[in-house]
């Protein structure tokens, strides 16, 4: 057994801790019982060096720019599979055969209809409320409508719950959008595939033909797929933390939605578009590049660099290719894409950005693609929610099956006042 020795030089306490090997990536040191054995805790601001769980869902190698779902490279999945196939893979560990896929995909279609009572909830919201606030509330309401039907200790019932929330999330997101726009709500169309159905619910009106091209469906389908899971990011860790308390799975997912809302997390692609709008034109790009490189200027380019990837984000590579395909196929172009292209051209060839591993990330491309598909900026993060729901649920399922899982209870370094008497 490989061990790691930790010694407290202040107290002289020393102990050995087991090193646990991983199938991919760095091994981890099991520091269980650290305080009792050496008289101290670890301090890891942001948990960037701490493994809070064991998982077999997703693996990232940030140095190589590699992302694997259940062992499959994201680039291959994006080229050969659709989002629903990837949902099945993430939930079950293997890609579905044709019979498994047909049964799973059909069940998702059937479950896409929410309880009729959910509709009344939307009437209570102001039409200028942020879609993430509305979506979060709608998903929270699901736990009231379905709580009595869920025995979380039963594996099949838990999986039934998983399919239900994956199916309903696009419907609730579409209802959110239409309320935000002041449009009548549109029910799902069971004859349409998952992603086409979402676009239909965004665009359709009671009369008139809804135009949805195959390339638009493929584009949004890949965006859902690329966002499906990403290891222990802030929202997934939040979902696991809430899940560890024994809370209803929908409550844990709602916590994930609210964590994802942050500008530093799921709201980043919305911030990318806002910044491109602020730059305004291609001839101003050089000025903002100079500002980004000036250490005394607080301006930073949104959509560049990543907490994990120190190479090109593999998801960004897929989306860059997709954006070029959309431009060639349906002629998408816009002032914002022209600005983004100029920023990308400079950054990929500028020593300042290359030396610091500031490559375009998924948010840089996803925002411009969604904007080109005619989707409002405030809906970008709800679309992220649709894609990520399957990952959150898979982590809850994995956590439920872990017999060693404890309620999350991190420690702290206390730096306040010492004990004193009340005068």
- CATH classification at residue 360: 1.10.580.10
Mean pLDDT score across all residues of the chain: 90
Tokens encoding 344: 């990308």
> Starting from the edge strand earliest in sequence, which strands make up the sheet with 66-69, in order?
58-61, 66-69, 72-73
Integer Cα distance of 336 and 282 in angstroms: 9
Residues 231 and 325 occupy one common structural domain: yes
Tokens encoding 283: 């001839």
Q: Is residue 176 part of a domain?
A: yes
pLDDT digits (tens, 9 = 90+) for 88-112: 999 999 999 999 999 999 999 999 9
DSSP SS3 for 4: strand
Residues 34 and 102 occupy one common structural domain: no
Q: Is residue 67 part of a domain?
A: no
Residues 254 and 115 occupy one common structural domain: yes
Residues 7 and 120 occupy one common structural domain: no
Residues 42 and 78 occupy one common structural domain: no
Integer Cα distance of 210 and 174 in angstroms: 15
Range of the domain at 46: 3-51
Q: Record the pTM.
A: 0.91
Give the chain's domain count: 2
Q: Is residue 388 part of a domain?
A: yes
Q: Is residue 60 part of a domain?
A: no
More confident residue, 11 or 78: 78
Instruction: List the one residue out of 155, 150, 71, 100 whose CA is nearest residue 397.
Output: 155
Q: Which of 2-16, 65-79, 300-314, 364-378 has the lowest mean pLDDT?
A: 300-314
Q: Is residue 417 part of a domain?
A: no
Catalytic residue among 221, 229, 313, 363: 363
Q: Is residue 134 part of a domain?
A: yes
pLDDT digits (tens, 9 = 90+) for 258-283: 999 988 888 777 888 888 889 988 99
Residues 44 and 85 occupy one common structural domain: no
Half-sphere exposure of 42 (CA within 13 A, CB side): 16
String of DSSP letters for 17-46 = EEEEP-SSS--EE--TTHHHHHS-----GG
Catalytic residue among 306, 328, 350, 402: 306
Instruction: List the one residue out of 303, 270, 320, 265 whose CA is nearest residue 78.
Output: 320
Catalytic annotation present for 363: yes
What does the pLDDT read at residue 365? 86
Alpha helices in 204-347 (DSSP H): 214-226, 234-243, 249-260, 268-279, 285-293, 314-330, 335-347
Residues 11 and 113 occupy one common structural domain: no
Residues 166 and 45 occupy one common structural domain: no
Average pLDDT over residues 3-25: 92
Integer Cα distance of 391 and 143 in angstroms: 19
Catalytic annotation present for 306: yes
pLDDT at 257 over 70: yes
Q: Is residue 65 part of a domain?
A: no
169 within 8 A of 276, measured Cβ to Cβ: no
Residues 123 and 40 occupy one common structural domain: no
Residues 47 and 85 occupy one common structural domain: no
Q: Is residue 352 part of a domain?
A: yes
Residues 295 and 350 occupy one common structural domain: yes
Residues 36 and 87 occupy one common structural domain: no
DSSP SS3 for 6: strand
CATH number at residue 41: 2.20.28
Tokens encoding 88: 């099945």
pLDDT digits (tens, 9 = 90+) for 387-419: 999 999 999 999 999 888 899 999 999 999 999
């Amino acid at each position: 057994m490989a061990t790691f020795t930790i010694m407290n030089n202040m107290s002289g306490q020393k102990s050995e801790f087991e090193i646990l090997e991983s199938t991919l990536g760095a091994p981890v040191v099991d520091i269980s019982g650290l305080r009792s054995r050496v008289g101290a805790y670890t301090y890891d601001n942001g948990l960037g060096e701490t493994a809070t769980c064991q998982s077999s869902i997703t693996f990232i190698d940030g140095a190589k720019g590699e992302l694997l779902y259940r062992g499959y490279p994201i680039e291959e999945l994006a080229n050969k599979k659709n989002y629903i196939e990837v949902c099945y893979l993430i939930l079950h560990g293997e890609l579905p055969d044709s019979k498994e896929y047909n049964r799973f995909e059909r069940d998702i279609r059937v479950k896409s209809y929410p309880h009729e009572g959910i509709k009344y909830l939307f009437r209570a919201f102001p039409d200028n409320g942020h879609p993430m606030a509305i979506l979060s509330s709608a998903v929270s309401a699901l736990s009231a409508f379905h709580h009595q039907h869920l025995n979380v200790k039963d594996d099949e019932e838990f999986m039934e719950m998983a399919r239900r929330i994956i199916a309903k999330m696009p419907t609730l997101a579409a209802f959110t959008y239409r309320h935000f726009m002041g449009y009548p709500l549109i029910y799902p169309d069971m004859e349409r595939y998952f992603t086409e159905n979402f676009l239909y619910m965004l665009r359709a009106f009671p009369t008139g033909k809804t135009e949805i091209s195959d390339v638009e469906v493929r584009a949004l389908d890949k965006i859902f797929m690329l966002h499906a899971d990403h290891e222990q990011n802030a929202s997934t860790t939040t979902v696991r933390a809430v899940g560890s308390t024994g809370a209803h799975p929908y409550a844990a997912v709602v916590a994930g939605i609210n964590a994802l809302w942050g500008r530093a997390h799921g709201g980043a692609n919305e911030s990318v578009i806002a910044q491109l709008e602020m730059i305004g034109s291609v001839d101003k790009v050089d000025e903002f590049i100079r500002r980004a490189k000036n250490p005394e200027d607080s301006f930073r380019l949104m959509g560049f660099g990543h907490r994990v990837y120190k190479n090109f984000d593999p998801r960004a590579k897929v989306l860059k290719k997709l954006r070029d395909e959309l431009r060639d196929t349906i002629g998408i172009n816009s002032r914002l894409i022209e600005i983004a292209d100029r920023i990308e051209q400079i950054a990929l060839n500028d020593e300042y950005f290359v030396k610091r591993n500031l490559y375009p990330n998924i948010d840089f491309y996803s925002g411009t693609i969604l904007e080109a598909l005619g989707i409002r900026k405030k809906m970008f993060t709800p679309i992220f929610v649709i894609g990520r729901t399957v990952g959150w649920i898979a982590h809850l399922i994995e956590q439920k099956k872990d017999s060693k899982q404890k309620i999350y209870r991190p420690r702290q370094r206390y730096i306040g006042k010492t004990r004193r008497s009340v005068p």
